[in-house]
Structure 1
Amino acid sequence: MRGPRMDHPRRGIADPDLTFPEALLQLRDTIPTITNTQEVPISNPTITPYNTGLNGVNQPNNMLFTDILWWTLGGLGVLILLIRIGQLAWAKLRLVSAMNTKGRQQHFWKVKQWSWMPGLKRSLIYAPLWKKRHNREIQLSSAVNMGTLPSRLQAAVLLVYLGSNLAYMFVLDWQQANKYALCAEIRGRSGTLSVVNMIPLIIFAGRNNPLIGLLNISFDTYNLLHRWMGRMSVFEVLIHFIAWAVVQVADDGWEGVKHKILYDRFISSGTVGVVAMFVILVLSLSPVRHAFYESFLNTHIILALVAFICTWIHCVSATVHGGLPQIPWVLAIFILWGAERFARVIRLAYANRSSRGYTTATVEPMPGEACRVTMHLPRHIPVRPGQHAYLRFAGLKPWENHPFSIAWFEHTYSPSSLPTYSSSSSSSSEKHPPGTTPTSTTVSFIIGAHTGFTRQLYNTARASPLGALTLRAAFEGPYAGHHSFDSYGHVVLFAGATGITHQLSYIRHLINGCNDRTACTRRITLVWIVRDHEVLEWIHPYMEQILRLPNRQEILRIKIFVTRPKTAMGVNVLSTSGTVQKLPGRPNVVTLLAKEQDEQMGAMVVGVCGPGGLGDDVRGAVRGMQGLGTVVDFVEESFTW
């Protein structure tokens, strides 16, 4: 017996040949495919391909902008190198033509200058970013400050480099209809630029950076560039992570993000690297960095190494055949970092160990809360004026090392079986006595007690029952010293407190050079600002030697300004020779330099080493002297940390 008739599923009419159960079976066979498609969705082709790998990444543009960045840095370096070569050639010409000429006869070099140069110095080269402040710290409290402001020239370089990074990062296909493909392009661009910036970041961080001497750019300036390149690299890697997370959340939800971070080596290594770089950014903010600098420095190095290792793992574990194309760049980062660290080890081992033994240091507590540190090196180490070194002391946080300007150095000589000859360009303090060879070097420093390491050093020396402390130490250096004043007929040196250490070695060198006719210098004026008379004891043994140099009275003038004398002093204390003055209060820098300019002999250079406020005052006065008809250059020794 047939059941009720059903409409045929295709024809929509009753089929007399099918019973009701048969019609249900036929309908069932047409339903499962539709039902399964709705309940078990397949991967979304508009999202899934763009959460990893190079899908959607515009690799040709990435490489193009990478090359442009390389060429920008390389071109800037070549331009500065050409300027540096020109400066050296000009200084050498001035030195050769004037080193045998009396001061008043160096008139050609006193006034000869391109008409546009004074304006360039005043408006760009020596100019602060705004008004007067440059190296004077923006103080929040006695222990915390916001750092310093870049100069106008430094700000221009930073603006070009950082602005170009931002521009390259957002040159994208904004017409892309698929926003997840656009995120992939952003991810590729930002990740590429972040790794690109890590290479100059590492170069500029090293104290053995060969570009310091080659381009005559101070470590302080490279340190500034290092900080801003680091911030840009962190910003780009955060964009890189966010662009990946947006696609991953859309594809698999937050649980999918968590699963990949925990179990996918490619994603987990990248995430750890991002976290390490973000923590570096937070800790490097000026208030935090300045309040806990020594802890920050050690943590910074560890986190940077973690970030580099994670970046390498991230690149090599990518699903792309052969890994990501940034692998050679990451290897270059490790090579550069390792080479710089190796150079430090070699310097340490060479300077502090020889057949004569190890380096020892004598630490004497001085009035005015300072130490005079004399390091006895077991071998001869050449030292130039204006150099500094990094010091370590056994038993006083030996894992830490800090830079200090070299105040004085002496070489010890012993009989030699071979004849030795003096270089005609060396000062008499560097000459070998006949028939001798240098065997060891003594280097001295004045270290003011502030906080942390320097305070501990002073307190330990002061507590010594012998009145001085002798301990094992390590000397790394010397570094810097790339400014030469030999071609200037007139040298004016400003020093604030322990900043005198940087100027002392120049004074001895230039007086000897004048006597030997290896330097043009015929007039030196030293202006030293101190709080009280007692700090004069810091440099007493060194100044005694300087004052006994031949022709010193004709060359050197010393003005000491005592700002907070503990005892009454005369208005103007003058030495019997009339060349050393002690005056109360602070100097009027503008008036002092105006007098020096009136008596100028040949080209003049003004150098300053001291607190940032003093440096800014001297800088402002030198800028005001530009365009008044004479050549006046400016050199500042500073370390903004």
Structure 2
Amino acid sequence: MSVPRRERRGPAETTEAIIPELVQPRDTISTATEMSTAPMSNPTIAPYNTGLNGVNQPNNMLFTDILWWCLGALGFLILLIRVGQLAWAKLRLVSAMGLKGKQQQFWKTRQWGWMPSLKRSVIYAPFWKKRHNREIRLSGAANMGTLPSRLQSLVLFGYLASNLAYMFVLDWTVENKYALCAEIRGRSGTLSVVSMVPLIIFAGRNNPLIGILNISFDTYNLLHRWMGRVCVLEVLIHCVAWAIVQVADDGWAGVKHKVLNDRFISSGTVGLVAMVILMLLAFSPIRHAFYESFLHTHIILALIAIICTWIHCLSATVHGGLPQTPWVLAIMVLWGAERFARIIRLAYVNKSARGFTEATVEPMPGEACRVTMHLPRYVRIKPGQHAYLRFSSVKPWENHPFSIAWFQHTVEDTGLPITEKEITRTSKLVGTTVSFIIGAHSGFTRDLYNAASANPGHAISMRAALEGPYAGHHSMDSYGHVVLIAGATGITHQISYVRHLIDGCNHSTAATRRVTLVWIVRDTDVLEWVHPWMHHILKMENRADILRIKIFVTRPKAAPTSALSNSGTVQKLPGRPNITTLLAKEIDEQFGAMCVSVCGPGGLADDVRDAVRSMQDAGTVVDFVEESFTW
């Protein structure tokens, strides 16, 4: 008996040679199978559970290129906008920094006619109504996170919609449903690996795009979370599409056999399990309730998923591995480079010939600590920056971000004069002292406060490490009028700008002629947090002409009263401020372009955002900057 031609095909035969027979009736295939001398997989099904059989690779590469080009075009567009903003701000700074406040009328009103409505409806608009950074709380310990802004939502929707569209551009006319499953498997797997590249880039705090595009790490963190969800969803589709074919071909026993014995399938399965667990643990209530545990588990699972994806791509029957293999190598390099950058920054900042970083921790009223880091080398710090801190005596494996409130540089005399006639001795900057206010909440911050409180009346010292500084990309030097609004420990972010802007006004390096600092606190006891720094600011040259301070006390221990300083520039008021009324008053007295900045609880930030949006029709330039870190 002659052997049917179908049985003589070798495993290396192409999909094109198999396809003509895939539409044969099932009884023809069964007859041929019965004629064989040994059992074999169904040729209508088997080719489509492995390799690139049935995969539309040209379309996969086409959609990959489109996705890359779209992300690149978006980045380039943001870069152009960023360059335009910098040029406009530089022009405003150069032309206004020598003018008095009332002489900056041109920049007070100068902007494109469509800009106010764009700010109100898109740039500063929350996704829905007023809520943006105010957490959606389920209970005292759990919440669902925050809502993206309208502009962020447009970017996210574009990315999600494009991935969905690419997923369903398939050959729906194919008669063999297993061939269709193979095409879905190839498309979803390709798109998943494509999503992993920006997913890893956006996760890094040393991401160079943060400074280049002037997009906050908070925004990148939001994109990272959503791209991770897309990536896991596509991996699940990839797995289901493969399993449908494999079960039809060899049953669940065949699936089990391949998962346990086939390196290509087993590595993909382990990677899938790691990614699904990672996504479940990243669910907002779980993430917020057990953040420290989540963070370390997240890193381990992400590393497992990346390595397994690389093994999966490399182990394919295709010669040289799947086409996505170089992408996964790039992902591993990016992840490793970012981690290496953290180690380098950590080592450079905290170790020098002068020793290691030491921290002084003082317990403060209102359950907070004032932390002063004594760095052994000079570190350049700009207003609005933050750093990640570690303490040797309090969970040294954890690090958390805190805004830099104050800094001073240590100057060392180098010795002899340069020439005989010179009496000025040369000096150099050799160290930096950086201060923070850390409120006690739970976990790490609570443990730090408890350690400091255990020694009442005295500060404690411990070995520590600072990683950073990061951010600080928002310059307010070109604005004639700056309003800084802080809630509780948010004062740390704003006070760094106060000193910088007063210095800039005195040395004619900033256009700022009016700074209004609004601080909302529960009780006057917490004023002790910033006492030494505020004492310095109040003694600065021309401070009374530039700075206005308004302190709102929401829960005073004594009877609520108002108070005004002798200079009339520092005011203490009971209750919560009406942000809209407060900003309206500032606009009535506006000098040049105005910038409103807020740092504090999500509810306060949303109130300020809403008030700034309502002021866009006032006919003056009012910009908005929000400092936040949603996790």
Instruction: Please give the range of the TM-score, normalised by the shorter of the 2 chains.
Output: over 0.9
Shift of 1:37: 3.0
1:470 to 461, 468, 482: 461
User: How many correspondences in the alignment?
Assistant: 596
SS at match of 1:232: helix
Q: Secondary structure at the match of 1:416?
A: strand
Q: 2:78 aligns with which of 77, 80, 90?
A: 80
Per-residue deviation at 1:405?
Answer: 0.1
Give the conservation status (yes or no) of the 8 Å contact 2:33–2:39: no
Q: Which residue of 1 aligns with 2:596?
A: 606
Residue 415 of structure 1 is aligned with which of 413, 438, 456?
413
Equivalent positions of 1:142-291 (< 5 A) are 142-291=140-289
Runs of 4+ in 1 over 2 A off after TM superposition: 33-43, 416-420, 464-467
Distance 1:526 1:214 in 2: 29
Partner of 2:557: 566
Partners of 1:290 and 1:115 in 2: CA distance: 43
Alignment of 1:340-379 (within 5 A): 340-379=338-377
* Counterpart residue number, 2:625: 635
Alignment partners' CA distance in 2, 1:174 and 1:102: 70
Alignment check: 8 A CA contact 1:262 1:268 kept: yes
Q: What TM-score do you get using the length of structure 1 for normalisation?
A: 0.92
How far apart are the structure 2 equivalents of 1:42 and 1:126? 63
Counterpart-to-counterpart distance in 2, 1:84 and 1:38: 69
Q: Residues 39, 418 of structure 1: CA spacing in aligned structure 2 closer, same or farther, 3 A cutoff?
A: farther
Match for residue 18 of structure 2? none
Distance in 2 (alpha carbons) for counterparts of 1:379 and 1:38? 79
Tell me which residue corresponds to 1:620.
610
Q: Is the 8 A contact 2:415 2:425 kept in 1?
A: no
Specify the code of the residue in structure 2 equivalent to 1:576. Answer: N
Query: Aligned pair 1:547/2:545, yes or no?
Result: no
The yes-or-no answer on 1:495 pairing with 2:495 is: no
Given candidates 43, 47, 50, the residue that maps to 1:49 is: 47
What's the CA shift string for 1:270-312, capped at 9, x where partnerless?
Answer: 0000000000110001111111111101000000000000001
The two structures have a TM-score, normalised by structure 2, of 0.93
Which residue is 1:61 aligned to?
59
CA distance 1:75–1:134, change in 2 (3 Å): same
Give the secondary-structure state (helix, strand or coil) at the position aligned to 1:376.
strand
1:435 match: secondary structure: strand
Distance 2:206 2:33 in 1: 69
CA distance in 1, matches of 2:170, 2:428: 66
Partner of 1:139, secondary structure, is coil
Q: Residues 484 and 518 of structure 2 are in contact (CA less than 8 Å); yes or no, is this contact kept in structure 1?
A: yes
Q: Structure 2 counterpart of 1:167, which letter? A: A
Q: Tell whether the 8 Å contact from 2:484 to 2:516 is kept in structure 1 after alignment.
A: yes
Pairwise CA distance, 1:434: 7.0
CA contact (8 A) 2:483 2:595 kept: yes
Is 2:127 the counterpart of 1:110? Answer: no
State the 1:435 CA deviation: 2.7
Per-residue deviation, 1:113:
1.1
Do the aligned residues in 2 keep the contact of 1:139 with 1:146 (CA within 8 Å)?
yes
1:554-605: CA deviations, max 9, x gaps?
00000000000011242x2001111001101000000000000000000000
Give a deviation string over 1:413-448, Cα, whole Å, max 9, x none. 01236999xxxxxxxxxxxx9732101000000000
Residue type at the aligned position of 2:259? I
Aligned to 1:582, which of 572, 579, 596?
572
Segments of structure 1 that go 5 or more residues without pairing to the other structure are 1-32, 421-432
Task: Tell me if structure 2 keeps the 8 A contact 1:388–1:477.
Answer: yes
Q: State whether structure 2 residue 437 is matched by structure 1 residue 446.
A: yes
Identical-residue share of aligned pairs (%):
77
Q: Is the 8 A contact 1:389 1:479 kept in 2?
A: yes
In the TM superposition, residue 628 of structure 1 has moved relative to its aligned partner by: 1.3
Equivalence for 2:22: none
Deviation at 1:515, TM superposition (A): 0.2
CA RMSD of aligned residues (A): 1.5
Question: C-alpha separation between the residues in 1 aligned to 2:75 and 2:416?
Answer: 43
User: Which amino acid in 2 is paired with 1:498?
Assistant: T
AA aligned to 2:599 is C
How far does the alpha carbon of each residue in 1:292-341 deviate from its partner, in whole angstroms, 9 at most, with x for none? 11110100000000000000110111111111111100000011001100
Tell me, yes or no, if the aligned pair for 1:622 and 1:634 is still in contact at 8 Å: yes
State the Cα deviation string for residues 110-156 of structure 1 (Å, max 9, x = none): 01111100000000000001100000000111111000000000000
Q: Distance in 1 between matches of 2:209 and 2:567?
A: 45
CA contact (8 A) 1:419 1:436 kept: no
* 1:169 CA displacement: 1.1
Partner of 1:17: none
In 1: Cα distance, 2:283 partner to 2:45 partner: 37
Structure 2 residue corresponding to 1:461, chosen from 443, 449, 452 = 452
Q: What is the distance in 2 between the residues matched to 1:138 and 1:228?
A: 18
SS in 1 for 2:323: coil
Tell me the equivalent position of 1:521. 512
The AA in structure 1 aligned to 2:365 is P
* Alpha-carbon distance between aligned partners in 1 of 2:285 and 2:32, rounded to the nearest angstrom: 63
Say which one has the larger Rg: 1
Equivalent position SS for 2:52: coil
TM-fit CA distance, 1:45:
1.2
Q: Identify the match of residue 296 of structure 1 among 273, 280, 294.
A: 294
- Closer/same/farther in 2, CA of residues 225 and 34 from structure 1, 3 Å limit: closer
Q: Which residue of 1 aligns with 2:586?
A: 596
**Cα shift at 1:469:** 1.4
Q: Kindly tell me: are residues 36 and 72 of structure 1, through their superposed partners in 2, closer, same or farther at Cα, counting changes over 3 Å?
A: closer
Counterpart contact for 1:147–1:286, Cα < 8 Å: yes
Deviations 1:525-567 (A, max 9, x none): 0000000010000000000000000000000000000000011
